[in-house]
A and B are shown apart, each in its own frame.
Chain A
Amino acid sequence: MKKFWKINYILYRNAIRRDLKISLTVLTGSLVHLLDGVVSLAIVLIVYSKTDFLGGWNIYESLILIAFVQIIVTLHSSWTKRGTADFTEKYVRMGDYDFYLTKPFDPMLSVSISKPRVYNLIRLPFFVAIFAYSVCHLEYNLSIINWGWFILLFVASFILFYAIRILTISPAFWIVKSHSLLVITDRMQNIMKYPANIYPRFFILFFTTLLPIFAISYLPVKVLLFDPKLSYIIYVIVLTALFLFLARILWRAGEKRYGSASS
Protein backbone atom coordinates (compact mmCIF):
# COMPACT_ATOMS: atom_id res chain seq x y z
CA MET A 1 0.00 0.00 0.00
CA LYS A 2 2.89 2.34 0.86
CA LYS A 3 4.39 1.62 -2.54
CA PHE A 4 1.05 2.43 -4.22
CA TRP A 5 0.85 5.87 -2.58
CA LYS A 6 4.52 6.61 -3.24
CA ILE A 7 4.02 5.83 -6.93
CA ASN A 8 0.94 8.06 -6.98
CA TYR A 9 2.91 10.84 -5.35
CA ILE A 10 5.62 10.65 -8.05
CA LEU A 11 3.01 10.46 -10.82
CA TYR A 12 1.19 13.55 -9.53
CA ARG A 13 4.47 15.39 -8.97
CA ASN A 14 5.52 14.57 -12.53
CA ALA A 15 2.09 15.61 -13.82
CA ILE A 16 2.47 19.01 -12.15
CA ARG A 17 5.95 19.41 -13.67
CA ARG A 18 4.55 18.52 -17.09
CA ASP A 19 1.57 20.84 -16.71
CA LEU A 20 3.82 23.76 -15.87
CA LYS A 21 5.41 23.32 -19.28
CA ILE A 22 2.09 23.29 -21.15
CA SER A 23 0.30 26.09 -19.33
CA LEU A 24 -2.04 27.00 -22.19
CA THR A 25 -3.34 23.43 -22.48
CA VAL A 26 -3.81 23.38 -18.72
CA LEU A 27 -5.68 26.69 -18.74
CA THR A 28 -8.14 25.61 -21.45
CA GLY A 29 -8.54 22.19 -19.83
CA SER A 30 -9.31 23.77 -16.46
CA LEU A 31 -11.86 26.17 -17.94
CA VAL A 32 -13.62 23.38 -19.81
CA HIS A 33 -13.84 21.29 -16.62
CA LEU A 34 -15.13 24.16 -14.56
CA LEU A 35 -17.67 25.12 -17.22
CA ASP A 36 -18.86 21.51 -17.52
CA GLY A 37 -19.51 21.42 -13.77
CA VAL A 38 -21.30 24.77 -13.79
CA VAL A 39 -23.52 23.77 -16.75
CA SER A 40 -24.43 20.51 -15.07
CA LEU A 41 -25.41 22.41 -11.93
CA ALA A 42 -27.30 25.07 -13.90
CA ILE A 43 -29.53 22.44 -15.53
CA VAL A 44 -30.61 21.14 -12.13
CA LEU A 45 -31.31 24.70 -10.93
CA ILE A 46 -33.44 25.36 -14.04
CA VAL A 47 -35.45 22.18 -13.36
CA TYR A 48 -36.04 23.27 -9.76
CA SER A 49 -37.19 26.71 -10.86
CA LYS A 50 -40.27 24.93 -12.26
CA THR A 51 -40.87 22.48 -9.41
CA ASP A 52 -40.21 22.18 -5.67
CA PHE A 53 -39.57 18.46 -5.63
CA LEU A 54 -38.00 15.98 -8.02
CA GLY A 55 -38.79 12.37 -7.16
CA GLY A 56 -39.63 13.57 -3.66
CA TRP A 57 -36.25 15.33 -3.21
CA ASN A 58 -36.03 19.05 -2.60
CA ILE A 59 -33.42 21.29 -4.25
CA TYR A 60 -30.84 21.01 -1.44
CA GLU A 61 -31.11 17.23 -1.32
CA SER A 62 -30.62 17.18 -5.07
CA LEU A 63 -27.68 19.56 -4.81
CA ILE A 64 -26.04 17.19 -2.33
CA LEU A 65 -26.61 14.34 -4.81
CA ILE A 66 -25.21 16.27 -7.76
CA ALA A 67 -22.22 17.51 -5.73
CA PHE A 68 -21.53 13.97 -4.52
CA VAL A 69 -21.62 12.63 -8.09
CA GLN A 70 -19.36 15.42 -9.29
CA ILE A 71 -16.86 14.80 -6.49
CA ILE A 72 -16.58 11.12 -7.45
CA VAL A 73 -16.43 11.90 -11.19
CA THR A 74 -13.86 14.66 -10.66
CA LEU A 75 -11.58 12.48 -8.55
CA HIS A 76 -11.73 9.77 -11.21
CA SER A 77 -11.24 12.24 -13.99
CA SER A 78 -8.06 13.45 -12.31
CA TRP A 79 -6.77 10.06 -11.21
CA THR A 80 -7.80 7.30 -13.61
CA LYS A 81 -9.71 8.72 -16.59
CA ARG A 82 -6.81 9.56 -18.91
CA GLY A 83 -4.85 6.38 -18.15
CA THR A 84 -7.83 4.13 -18.76
CA ALA A 85 -8.74 6.05 -21.91
CA ASP A 86 -5.19 5.74 -23.20
CA PHE A 87 -5.32 2.03 -22.51
CA THR A 88 -7.99 1.50 -25.18
CA GLU A 89 -6.80 4.18 -27.54
CA LYS A 90 -3.07 3.63 -27.29
CA TYR A 91 -1.59 1.03 -24.97
CA VAL A 92 -3.24 -2.03 -26.52
CA ARG A 93 -3.27 -0.76 -30.09
CA MET A 94 0.36 0.36 -30.11
CA GLY A 95 1.70 -2.33 -27.78
CA ASP A 96 2.84 0.12 -25.08
CA TYR A 97 1.14 -2.11 -22.52
CA ASP A 98 4.25 -4.34 -22.81
CA PHE A 99 6.11 -2.10 -20.36
CA TYR A 100 3.35 -2.31 -17.76
CA LEU A 101 3.44 -6.09 -17.94
CA THR A 102 7.14 -6.26 -17.16
CA LYS A 103 7.02 -4.08 -14.04
CA PRO A 104 6.62 -5.36 -10.47
CA PHE A 105 3.42 -3.39 -9.95
CA ASP A 106 -0.15 -4.43 -10.75
CA PRO A 107 -0.59 -3.59 -14.47
CA MET A 108 -4.30 -2.83 -14.17
CA LEU A 109 -3.70 -0.27 -11.44
CA SER A 110 -0.55 0.92 -13.09
CA VAL A 111 -2.33 1.70 -16.37
CA SER A 112 -5.23 3.36 -14.54
CA ILE A 113 -3.11 5.82 -12.59
CA SER A 114 -0.50 6.34 -15.29
CA LYS A 115 -1.78 9.69 -16.59
CA PRO A 116 -3.05 11.87 -13.76
CA ARG A 117 -4.52 15.25 -14.66
CA VAL A 118 -4.05 17.63 -11.77
CA TYR A 119 -6.00 20.46 -13.37
CA ASN A 120 -9.12 18.28 -13.56
CA LEU A 121 -9.34 18.79 -9.79
CA ILE A 122 -10.22 22.44 -10.34
CA ARG A 123 -13.93 21.88 -9.83
CA LEU A 124 -13.45 19.76 -6.69
CA PRO A 125 -13.47 22.68 -4.20
CA PHE A 126 -16.50 24.12 -5.98
CA PHE A 127 -18.58 20.96 -5.52
CA VAL A 128 -17.28 20.30 -2.00
CA ALA A 129 -18.50 23.80 -1.15
CA ILE A 130 -21.92 23.12 -2.71
CA PHE A 131 -22.12 19.84 -0.80
CA ALA A 132 -21.23 21.54 2.50
CA TYR A 133 -23.55 24.50 1.86
CA SER A 134 -26.51 22.24 1.03
CA VAL A 135 -25.94 20.00 4.08
CA CYS A 136 -25.83 23.08 6.33
CA HIS A 137 -28.88 24.60 4.69
CA LEU A 138 -30.97 21.47 5.17
CA GLU A 139 -30.42 21.56 8.92
CA TYR A 140 -31.05 17.82 9.17
CA ASN A 141 -29.88 16.17 12.33
CA LEU A 142 -27.20 13.96 10.76
CA SER A 143 -25.70 11.59 13.29
CA ILE A 144 -22.17 10.26 13.42
CA ILE A 145 -23.61 6.93 12.26
CA ASN A 146 -25.03 8.59 9.15
CA TRP A 147 -21.65 10.17 8.40
CA GLY A 148 -19.73 6.96 9.20
CA TRP A 149 -21.79 4.85 6.79
CA PHE A 150 -21.73 7.63 4.22
CA ILE A 151 -17.92 7.80 4.24
CA LEU A 152 -17.72 4.03 3.90
CA LEU A 153 -20.14 4.14 0.98
CA PHE A 154 -18.23 7.03 -0.56
CA VAL A 155 -15.13 4.81 -0.71
CA ALA A 156 -17.20 1.87 -2.02
CA SER A 157 -18.86 4.09 -4.66
CA PHE A 158 -15.50 5.36 -5.77
CA ILE A 159 -14.23 1.80 -6.22
CA LEU A 160 -17.44 0.70 -7.92
CA PHE A 161 -17.17 3.55 -10.43
CA TYR A 162 -13.58 2.45 -11.13
CA ALA A 163 -14.61 -1.21 -11.51
CA ILE A 164 -17.27 -0.24 -14.07
CA ARG A 165 -14.68 1.80 -15.93
CA ILE A 166 -12.34 -1.22 -16.01
CA LEU A 167 -15.17 -3.42 -17.30
CA THR A 168 -15.75 -0.96 -20.14
CA ILE A 169 -12.09 -0.76 -21.16
CA SER A 170 -11.21 -4.47 -20.84
CA PRO A 171 -12.88 -5.45 -24.15
CA ALA A 172 -9.93 -3.63 -25.79
CA PHE A 173 -7.96 -6.83 -25.28
CA TRP A 174 -10.30 -8.54 -27.75
CA ILE A 175 -11.61 -5.68 -29.88
CA VAL A 176 -8.79 -3.25 -30.51
CA LYS A 177 -10.97 -0.31 -31.50
CA SER A 178 -13.37 -0.50 -28.57
CA HIS A 179 -12.79 2.98 -27.14
CA SER A 180 -16.38 3.96 -27.93
CA LEU A 181 -17.33 1.91 -24.85
CA LEU A 182 -15.71 4.61 -22.74
CA VAL A 183 -18.78 6.72 -23.45
CA ILE A 184 -20.67 4.51 -20.97
CA THR A 185 -18.77 5.82 -17.95
CA ASP A 186 -18.44 9.30 -19.42
CA ARG A 187 -22.22 9.62 -19.75
CA MET A 188 -23.14 7.83 -16.52
CA GLN A 189 -23.02 11.05 -14.53
CA ASN A 190 -25.94 12.45 -16.52
CA ILE A 191 -28.18 9.74 -15.08
CA MET A 192 -26.54 9.58 -11.65
CA LYS A 193 -27.13 13.20 -10.77
CA TYR A 194 -30.92 12.88 -10.41
CA PRO A 195 -32.81 10.99 -7.67
CA ALA A 196 -33.40 7.40 -8.85
CA ASN A 197 -37.14 7.46 -8.30
CA ILE A 198 -37.76 9.89 -11.15
CA TYR A 199 -36.92 7.08 -13.58
CA PRO A 200 -39.26 4.27 -14.73
CA ARG A 201 -39.15 1.01 -12.75
CA PHE A 202 -37.20 -0.85 -15.49
CA PHE A 203 -34.49 1.85 -15.49
CA ILE A 204 -34.19 1.70 -11.72
CA LEU A 205 -33.82 -2.09 -11.86
CA PHE A 206 -31.23 -1.89 -14.64
CA PHE A 207 -29.21 0.88 -13.01
CA THR A 208 -29.11 -0.77 -9.62
CA THR A 209 -28.13 -4.24 -10.84
CA LEU A 210 -26.55 -4.66 -14.29
CA LEU A 211 -25.04 -1.19 -14.53
CA PRO A 212 -25.34 -0.18 -10.86
CA ILE A 213 -24.79 3.54 -11.12
CA PHE A 214 -27.50 4.28 -8.54
CA ALA A 215 -25.36 2.35 -6.05
CA ILE A 216 -22.62 4.87 -6.76
CA SER A 217 -24.71 8.01 -6.21
CA TYR A 218 -28.30 7.66 -5.06
CA LEU A 219 -27.90 5.03 -2.33
CA PRO A 220 -24.93 6.63 -0.47
CA VAL A 221 -26.67 10.03 -0.40
CA LYS A 222 -29.92 8.36 0.73
CA VAL A 223 -27.98 6.70 3.56
CA LEU A 224 -26.60 10.09 4.60
CA LEU A 225 -29.78 12.14 4.44
CA PHE A 226 -32.41 9.62 5.43
CA ASP A 227 -32.59 6.42 7.43
CA PRO A 228 -29.30 4.49 6.95
CA LYS A 229 -30.81 1.15 5.99
CA LEU A 230 -28.38 -1.71 6.54
CA SER A 231 -29.71 -3.47 3.42
CA TYR A 232 -28.56 -0.52 1.24
CA ILE A 233 -25.14 -0.47 2.85
CA ILE A 234 -24.60 -4.21 2.46
CA TYR A 235 -25.91 -4.06 -1.09
CA VAL A 236 -23.47 -1.33 -2.16
CA ILE A 237 -20.51 -3.06 -0.50
CA VAL A 238 -21.35 -6.49 -1.96
CA LEU A 239 -21.93 -4.99 -5.38
CA THR A 240 -18.59 -3.16 -5.22
CA ALA A 241 -16.76 -6.35 -4.26
CA LEU A 242 -18.55 -8.28 -7.01
CA PHE A 243 -17.85 -5.72 -9.74
CA LEU A 244 -14.22 -5.36 -8.70
CA PHE A 245 -13.88 -9.12 -8.80
CA LEU A 246 -15.48 -9.27 -12.26
CA ALA A 247 -13.24 -6.46 -13.50
CA ARG A 248 -10.19 -8.32 -12.23
CA ILE A 249 -11.28 -11.60 -13.85
CA LEU A 250 -12.00 -9.93 -17.19
CA TRP A 251 -8.66 -8.08 -17.12
CA ARG A 252 -6.73 -11.26 -16.36
CA ALA A 253 -8.55 -13.09 -19.16
CA GLY A 254 -7.75 -10.18 -21.46
CA GLU A 255 -4.07 -10.28 -20.57
CA LYS A 256 -3.96 -13.90 -21.75
CA ARG A 257 -5.45 -12.75 -25.02
CA TYR A 258 -3.09 -9.76 -25.36
CA GLY A 259 -1.10 -10.10 -28.55
CA SER A 260 1.22 -7.09 -28.14
CA ALA A 261 1.41 -5.04 -31.30
CA SER A 262 4.68 -5.71 -33.04
CA SER A 263 7.41 -3.12 -33.01
Chain B
Amino acid sequence: MPIIKAHKLTKKFERSSFDWKNFRFQKTENTAVNAIDLEINEGEFVGFLGPNGAGKTTFLKMLSGIIYPTSGKAEVLGYDPFEKDYKFLKQIGLVMGQKNQLWWDLSAKDSYDLLKEIYEIDETIFKKDLDLMIDILDMRKFINTRVRNMSLGERMKCEIVAALIHQPKLLFLDEPTIGLDIVSAQAIRKFLKEINQEKKCTIILTSHYMADVEALCERLVIINRGTKVYDGSLSNLRQKYASERIIEIFLPTLEDKEKFAHLPGKKSLNEGRGTIRIKKNEVGEVAKRAFENFDPENITISDVETEEIISKIFTSKN
Protein backbone atom coordinates (compact mmCIF):
# COMPACT_ATOMS: atom_id res chain seq x y z
CA MET B 1 0.00 0.00 0.00
CA PRO B 2 1.47 3.38 -0.97
CA ILE B 3 2.34 5.74 1.86
CA ILE B 4 3.26 8.52 -0.54
CA LYS B 5 0.97 9.58 -3.36
CA ALA B 6 1.82 12.56 -5.49
CA HIS B 7 -0.55 13.60 -8.22
CA LYS B 8 0.53 16.16 -10.81
CA LEU B 9 2.65 17.85 -8.15
CA THR B 10 3.98 21.11 -9.54
CA LYS B 11 6.07 23.91 -8.13
CA LYS B 12 6.71 27.15 -9.93
CA PHE B 13 8.91 29.81 -8.39
CA GLU B 14 7.97 33.36 -9.26
CA ARG B 15 10.36 36.24 -9.01
CA SER B 16 9.41 39.87 -9.32
CA SER B 17 11.90 42.55 -10.21
CA PHE B 18 11.74 46.10 -11.42
CA ASP B 19 12.87 46.76 -14.95
CA TRP B 20 14.32 50.26 -14.79
CA LYS B 21 14.78 50.45 -18.57
CA ASN B 22 11.08 50.04 -19.33
CA PHE B 23 10.02 51.31 -15.91
CA ARG B 24 7.72 48.40 -15.01
CA PHE B 25 7.59 45.33 -12.82
CA GLN B 26 8.69 42.08 -14.40
CA LYS B 27 7.72 38.61 -13.32
CA THR B 28 9.86 35.63 -14.15
CA GLU B 29 8.64 32.11 -13.59
CA ASN B 30 10.71 29.00 -13.16
CA THR B 31 9.09 25.58 -13.11
CA ALA B 32 11.10 23.53 -10.62
CA VAL B 33 8.78 20.52 -10.55
CA ASN B 34 6.41 19.85 -13.40
CA ALA B 35 3.33 17.68 -12.78
CA ILE B 36 5.06 14.69 -11.21
CA ASP B 37 2.98 11.60 -10.44
CA LEU B 38 4.49 9.14 -8.00
CA GLU B 39 3.56 6.44 -5.54
CA ILE B 40 5.92 5.00 -2.93
CA ASN B 41 5.15 1.96 -0.82
CA GLU B 42 5.95 1.39 2.83
CA GLY B 43 9.50 0.12 3.43
CA GLU B 44 10.85 1.18 0.04
CA PHE B 45 14.24 2.83 -0.34
CA VAL B 46 13.87 5.21 -3.25
CA GLY B 47 16.67 7.20 -4.82
CA PHE B 48 16.07 10.47 -6.60
CA LEU B 49 18.71 11.30 -9.12
CA GLY B 50 19.10 14.31 -11.31
CA PRO B 51 21.55 17.04 -12.26
CA ASN B 52 21.75 20.29 -10.29
CA GLY B 53 18.50 22.23 -10.50
CA ALA B 54 16.55 19.19 -11.73
CA GLY B 55 13.88 19.65 -9.06
CA LYS B 56 14.59 16.62 -6.87
CA THR B 57 15.11 18.59 -3.63
CA THR B 58 12.06 20.77 -4.35
CA PHE B 59 9.99 17.62 -4.82
CA LEU B 60 11.29 16.20 -1.54
CA LYS B 61 10.53 19.47 0.25
CA MET B 62 6.96 19.39 -1.02
CA LEU B 63 6.50 15.84 0.25
CA SER B 64 7.79 16.84 3.67
CA GLY B 65 5.49 19.89 3.78
CA ILE B 66 8.28 22.47 3.78
CA ILE B 67 7.13 24.22 0.66
CA TYR B 68 3.65 24.52 -0.82
CA PRO B 69 3.02 23.26 -4.33
CA THR B 70 1.72 25.58 -7.01
CA SER B 71 -0.70 22.87 -8.10
CA GLY B 72 -1.31 19.17 -7.70
CA LYS B 73 -1.86 17.04 -4.65
CA ALA B 74 0.25 15.02 -2.26
CA GLU B 75 -0.72 12.54 0.40
CA VAL B 76 1.99 11.32 2.75
CA LEU B 77 1.29 8.72 5.46
CA GLY B 78 -2.41 9.51 4.98
CA TYR B 79 -1.95 13.23 5.64
CA ASP B 80 -1.80 16.33 3.52
CA PRO B 81 1.82 17.38 4.28
CA PHE B 82 1.01 21.08 3.82
CA GLU B 83 -1.39 21.04 6.76
CA LYS B 84 1.55 20.14 9.01
CA ASP B 85 -0.44 17.96 11.35
CA TYR B 86 1.71 17.16 14.39
CA LYS B 87 0.79 13.48 14.06
CA PHE B 88 2.27 13.58 10.56
CA LEU B 89 5.37 15.53 11.59
CA LYS B 90 6.09 13.02 14.36
CA GLN B 91 6.34 10.31 11.70
CA ILE B 92 8.84 11.97 9.40
CA GLY B 93 12.55 12.76 9.69
CA LEU B 94 14.69 15.05 7.59
CA VAL B 95 18.41 15.19 6.90
CA MET B 96 19.96 17.81 4.68
CA GLY B 97 23.58 17.28 3.79
CA GLN B 98 24.37 20.96 3.55
CA LYS B 99 22.34 22.27 6.47
CA ASN B 100 22.40 21.34 10.09
CA GLN B 101 19.82 21.29 12.80
CA LEU B 102 22.18 20.69 15.71
CA TRP B 103 23.34 23.51 17.99
CA TRP B 104 26.72 24.59 16.69
CA ASP B 105 28.22 25.52 20.06
CA LEU B 106 26.98 22.50 21.99
CA SER B 107 27.42 18.76 21.96
CA ALA B 108 25.03 16.66 19.88
CA LYS B 109 23.73 15.16 23.11
CA ASP B 110 22.41 18.58 24.21
CA SER B 111 20.53 18.96 20.92
CA TYR B 112 19.06 15.47 21.30
CA ASP B 113 17.67 16.47 24.71
CA LEU B 114 15.78 19.27 23.00
CA LEU B 115 14.47 16.95 20.30
CA LYS B 116 13.30 14.55 22.99
CA GLU B 117 11.01 17.28 24.36
CA ILE B 118 9.85 18.43 20.93
CA TYR B 119 8.85 14.90 19.92
CA GLU B 120 7.65 14.07 23.45
CA ILE B 121 9.70 10.86 23.61
CA ASP B 122 9.56 8.72 26.72
CA GLU B 123 12.83 9.00 28.71
CA THR B 124 13.53 5.23 28.78
CA ILE B 125 12.83 4.72 25.08
CA PHE B 126 14.90 7.79 24.24
CA LYS B 127 17.91 6.56 26.19
CA LYS B 128 17.66 3.04 24.77
CA ASP B 129 17.31 4.15 21.13
CA LEU B 130 20.00 6.79 21.41
CA ASP B 131 22.46 4.37 23.00
CA LEU B 132 21.79 1.87 20.25
CA MET B 133 22.37 4.38 17.46
CA ILE B 134 25.49 5.76 19.16
CA ASP B 135 26.95 2.23 19.27
CA ILE B 136 26.01 1.31 15.70
CA LEU B 137 27.48 4.50 14.29
CA ASP B 138 30.47 4.39 16.64
CA MET B 139 29.73 7.88 17.99
CA ARG B 140 30.70 7.30 21.62
CA LYS B 141 34.02 9.16 21.32
CA PHE B 142 32.56 12.41 19.96
CA ILE B 143 29.01 12.47 21.34
CA ASN B 144 30.04 15.03 23.97
CA THR B 145 32.22 17.10 21.62
CA ARG B 146 30.94 20.47 20.46
CA VAL B 147 29.35 20.13 17.00
CA ARG B 148 31.56 22.94 15.63
CA ASN B 149 34.65 20.88 16.53
CA MET B 150 33.48 17.70 14.78
CA SER B 151 34.61 16.50 11.38
CA LEU B 152 32.05 16.57 8.56
CA GLY B 153 31.60 12.79 8.79
CA GLU B 154 31.03 12.90 12.56
CA ARG B 155 28.59 15.76 12.18
CA MET B 156 26.60 13.95 9.53
CA LYS B 157 26.32 10.88 11.75
CA CYS B 158 24.96 13.11 14.50
CA GLU B 159 22.52 14.75 12.06
CA ILE B 160 21.20 11.37 10.97
CA VAL B 161 20.67 10.32 14.58
CA ALA B 162 18.83 13.62 15.18
CA ALA B 163 16.48 12.79 12.33
CA LEU B 164 15.87 9.27 13.61
CA ILE B 165 15.63 9.90 17.34
CA HIS B 166 11.83 9.77 17.27
CA GLN B 167 11.74 6.57 15.16
CA PRO B 168 10.08 8.08 12.08
CA LYS B 169 8.24 5.90 9.58
CA LEU B 170 9.51 8.02 6.73
CA LEU B 171 12.94 9.55 6.33
CA PHE B 172 13.87 12.22 3.79
CA LEU B 173 17.56 12.41 3.01
CA ASP B 174 18.87 15.23 0.87
CA GLU B 175 22.42 14.44 -0.18
CA PRO B 176 23.49 12.97 3.16
CA THR B 177 26.94 11.90 1.98
CA ILE B 178 27.95 15.12 0.27
CA GLY B 179 31.60 15.94 0.92
CA LEU B 180 32.20 12.84 3.04
CA ASP B 181 35.24 10.59 2.76
CA ILE B 182 34.75 6.98 1.59
CA VAL B 183 34.85 5.47 5.09
CA SER B 184 32.27 7.86 6.56
CA ALA B 185 30.02 7.55 3.50
CA GLN B 186 30.17 3.75 3.73
CA ALA B 187 29.35 3.77 7.45
CA ILE B 188 26.34 5.98 6.83
CA ARG B 189 25.14 3.86 3.92
CA LYS B 190 25.43 0.71 6.03
CA PHE B 191 23.46 2.30 8.86
CA LEU B 192 20.72 3.57 6.55
CA LYS B 193 20.37 0.14 4.98
CA GLU B 194 19.94 -1.40 8.44
CA ILE B 195 17.31 1.16 9.43
CA ASN B 196 15.43 0.52 6.23
CA GLN B 197 15.52 -3.26 6.56
CA GLU B 198 15.12 -3.72 10.30
CA LYS B 199 12.77 -0.86 11.21
CA LYS B 200 10.94 -0.94 7.87
CA CYS B 201 11.53 2.80 7.65
CA THR B 202 10.70 4.15 4.21
CA ILE B 203 13.58 6.24 2.93
CA ILE B 204 13.64 8.82 0.17
CA LEU B 205 17.13 9.81 -0.85
CA THR B 206 18.36 12.48 -3.21
CA SER B 207 21.97 12.31 -4.17
CA HIS B 208 24.49 13.20 -6.80
CA TYR B 209 26.52 10.14 -5.97
CA MET B 210 25.73 7.04 -7.94
CA ALA B 211 27.49 5.01 -5.24
CA ASP B 212 24.76 6.00 -2.74
CA VAL B 213 21.98 4.97 -5.05
CA GLU B 214 23.65 1.74 -6.18
CA ALA B 215 24.39 0.69 -2.61
CA LEU B 216 21.01 1.56 -1.14
CA CYS B 217 18.10 1.96 -3.49
CA GLU B 218 16.04 -0.77 -5.09
CA ARG B 219 14.07 1.87 -6.90
CA LEU B 220 15.34 4.84 -8.80
CA VAL B 221 13.49 7.96 -9.88
CA ILE B 222 15.31 10.18 -12.33
CA ILE B 223 14.22 13.77 -12.56
CA ASN B 224 15.42 16.22 -15.13
CA ARG B 225 14.20 19.78 -15.59
CA GLY B 226 11.35 19.17 -13.19
CA THR B 227 10.03 16.15 -15.07
CA LYS B 228 10.20 12.49 -14.12
CA VAL B 229 12.13 10.73 -16.85
CA TYR B 230 12.56 7.30 -15.29
CA ASP B 231 10.96 5.35 -12.46
CA GLY B 232 12.01 1.76 -11.87
CA SER B 233 14.73 -0.53 -10.64
CA LEU B 234 18.42 -0.08 -11.35
CA SER B 235 18.58 -3.39 -13.21
CA ASN B 236 15.68 -2.35 -15.45
CA LEU B 237 17.45 0.91 -16.09
CA ARG B 238 20.52 -0.95 -17.28
CA GLN B 239 18.46 -3.27 -19.44
CA LYS B 240 16.48 -0.46 -20.95
CA TYR B 241 19.15 2.13 -21.54
CA ALA B 242 22.49 0.27 -21.60
CA SER B 243 22.63 -0.96 -25.17
CA GLU B 244 26.34 -1.73 -24.95
CA ARG B 245 28.73 -3.81 -22.86
CA ILE B 246 32.43 -3.31 -22.37
CA ILE B 247 35.16 -5.87 -23.03
CA GLU B 248 38.51 -4.97 -21.56
CA ILE B 249 41.70 -6.84 -22.54
CA PHE B 250 45.14 -6.50 -21.01
CA LEU B 251 47.65 -6.33 -23.90
CA PRO B 252 51.21 -6.90 -22.63
CA THR B 253 52.89 -7.54 -26.00
CA LEU B 254 53.01 -5.85 -29.39
CA GLU B 255 51.55 -9.00 -30.93
CA ASP B 256 48.53 -8.74 -28.62
CA LYS B 257 48.01 -5.14 -29.70
CA GLU B 258 48.06 -6.16 -33.36
CA LYS B 259 45.50 -8.92 -32.72
CA PHE B 260 43.36 -6.42 -30.80
CA ALA B 261 43.30 -4.14 -33.85
CA HIS B 262 41.53 -6.87 -35.85
CA LEU B 263 38.64 -7.24 -33.40
CA PRO B 264 35.30 -5.61 -34.34
CA GLY B 265 33.53 -2.81 -32.35
CA LYS B 266 34.40 0.66 -31.05
CA LYS B 267 37.95 0.27 -29.76
CA SER B 268 40.30 2.35 -27.70
CA LEU B 269 43.77 1.64 -26.37
CA ASN B 270 45.21 3.14 -23.23
CA GLU B 271 48.47 2.13 -21.50
CA GLY B 272 48.44 -1.51 -22.59
CA ARG B 273 44.71 -1.91 -21.94
CA GLY B 274 42.33 -2.25 -24.87
CA THR B 275 38.63 -1.43 -24.48
CA ILE B 276 35.88 -2.52 -26.85
CA ARG B 277 32.35 -1.10 -26.57
CA ILE B 278 30.03 -3.57 -28.21
CA LYS B 279 26.29 -3.87 -28.69
CA LYS B 280 24.72 -6.36 -26.29
CA ASN B 281 23.61 -8.76 -29.04
CA GLU B 282 27.13 -8.86 -30.49
CA VAL B 283 28.92 -9.56 -27.19
CA GLY B 284 28.89 -13.34 -27.64
CA GLU B 285 30.61 -13.22 -31.02
CA VAL B 286 33.30 -10.70 -29.98
CA ALA B 287 33.91 -12.40 -26.62
CA LYS B 288 34.41 -15.74 -28.37
CA ARG B 289 37.06 -14.22 -30.66
CA ALA B 290 38.74 -12.50 -27.72
CA PHE B 291 38.98 -15.70 -25.72
CA GLU B 292 40.42 -17.49 -28.75
CA ASN B 293 43.15 -14.86 -29.22
CA PHE B 294 44.08 -13.79 -25.68
CA ASP B 295 44.82 -15.26 -22.28
CA PRO B 296 41.35 -15.50 -20.55
CA GLU B 297 42.90 -14.11 -17.36
CA ASN B 298 43.51 -10.86 -19.23
CA ILE B 299 39.87 -10.39 -20.30
CA THR B 300 37.02 -8.75 -18.35
CA ILE B 301 33.48 -8.16 -19.57
CA SER B 302 31.42 -5.52 -17.76
CA ASP B 303 28.32 -3.38 -18.02
CA VAL B 304 28.46 0.28 -18.87
CA GLU B 305 28.63 2.29 -15.61
CA THR B 306 25.24 3.43 -14.33
CA GLU B 307 26.50 6.99 -14.11
CA GLU B 308 27.19 6.93 -17.82
CA ILE B 309 23.70 5.58 -18.57
CA ILE B 310 22.10 8.29 -16.49
CA SER B 311 24.20 10.98 -18.05
CA LYS B 312 23.07 9.62 -21.43
CA ILE B 313 19.43 9.87 -20.32
CA PHE B 314 19.92 13.50 -19.29
CA THR B 315 21.53 14.38 -22.61
CA SER B 316 19.01 12.54 -24.77
CA LYS B 317 16.02 14.12 -22.98
CA ASN B 318 17.62 17.55 -23.27
Contacts and interface: CB of A to CB of B under 8 A. Distances in A.
Contact of A3 (B65, B84, B110, B117): B117
A263 B117 contact: no
Contact of B99 (A10, A18, A99, A255): A99
A122 to B, nearest CB: 20
A42 B61 CA distance: 52
A102 B65 contact: yes
Contacts of A17: 106, 110
A10 B109 CA distance: 12
Interface residues of A, number: 27
Interface in A18-67: 18, 21-22
Contacts of B105: 18, 21-22
A6 B84 contact: no
Contacts of A259: 13, 67
Contact of A263 (B86, B96, B106, B120): B96
Given A263-B96, A263-B98, A103 B118 contact: yes
B33 to A, nearest CB: 13
B114 interface: yes
Interface in B93-128: 94, 96-99, 101, 103, 105-106, 110-111, 113-114, 117-120
B13 A14 contact: no
Interface of B: 13, 57-58, 61, 64-68, 84, 86-87, 89-90, 92, 94, 96-99, 101, 103, 105-106, 110-111, 113-114, 117-120, 146, 174-175
20 contacts: A3-B117, A7-B118, A10-B113, A10-B114, A14-B103, A17-B106, A17-B110, A18-B105, A21-B146, A96-B99, A101-B66, A102-B65, A102-B89, A103-B89, A103-B119, A104-B87, A104-B119, A256-B68, A258-B68, A263-B175
Interface of A: 3, 6-7, 10-11, 14, 17-18, 21-22, 94-96, 98-99, 101-105, 255-256, 258-260, 262-263
